[in-house]
Amino acid sequence: MNLTAGLFPAWLWISACVMAALLLARSIYKTNWLTVPQSELTCWFGGTVVMLVLWQMKANIQPGLAFHLLGAAGLTLVAGPDRARIGVAVALVADILDGHGDWTGIGVSWLLTAGIPTTLTWRLLQLAQKRLPHNYFVYIFLNSFAAGALSMWLVGISTCALLWATGVYAPDFLLEEQLPYYLLFGFPEAFTTGMVMTMLVIYAPQWVVTFDDQLYLRNK
């Protein structure tokens, strides 16, 4: 979301950087680097690159306010939450090197664009597997389409709430000029996530760590 540290008080962006570093270190530690199958690595790396490309198609409105697709929900379904968080961190670094945002604001940006979508998507998947029938359509429509939309909406609401709470922008401006666009972006985010996941589970299910043929398709 191109957030820069200059928008926030020092204590906030420093705390965000520390929290993001700890959470990212946890994800790196939990990843079994030596045992990840080549097929999963291929889709994980490819998904990270695709997500970075999506971020380049953006509209910069005001400092700290940029509209683009996230892709984090899809990457979570493809690679799992920990690897998705690492992938978002890599994409953020590449985006900053390309001249968007700054290093001191990377903690806030990562918590919003990685922490929220990956956690929401993963929890929604766990809830569906526990409470709902193990059905292909549940996976596609709830865990892909709905997770994509909800991720974008929650990131947009959280971003606007943060900018309002820290006094960066007036609440009227955020509610009338920014939040509606985040809500609208939920629909292309849902469509993109859902269509990509549909194609992957049909033609290359071995690339998707959260999809199990035995669980969703066999004996149905």
pLDDT in tens, 14-29: 999 999 999 999 999 9
Give tens-digit pLDDT for 163-217.
999 888 899 988 988 889 889 999 999 999 999 999 999 898 888 999 987 777 7
Number of Cβ atoms within 10 Å of the Cβ of 141 = 15
Q: pTM score, two decimals?
A: 0.91
Q: Is the separation of the CB atoms in 133 and 177 below 8 Å?
A: no
Specify burial of residue 96 (Cβ count, 10 A radius: 0-12, 13-18, 19+).
middle
Helix axes 72-79, 81-97, angle to 10 degrees: 140
| N residues, the chain | 220
What CATH architecture does domain 5-216 belong to? Orthogonal Bundle (1.10)
- Spatial separation of the C-alpha atoms in residues 197 and 200, rounded to whole Å: 5
Q: What is the pLDDT of residue 135?
A: 87
Give tens-digit pLDDT for 117-149.
999 999 999 999 999 988 889 999 999 999 999
H-assigned helices in the chain: 10-30, 38-56, 72-79, 81-97, 106-110, 116-131, 136-140, 147-165, 171-173, 179-203, 213-216
Mean pLDDT for the chain overall: 89
Of 74, 94, 93, 75, residue with least CA distance to 84: 75
The domain segmentation of the chain, as residue ranges, is 5-216
Q: Is the separation of the CB atoms in 192 and 69 below 8 Å?
A: yes
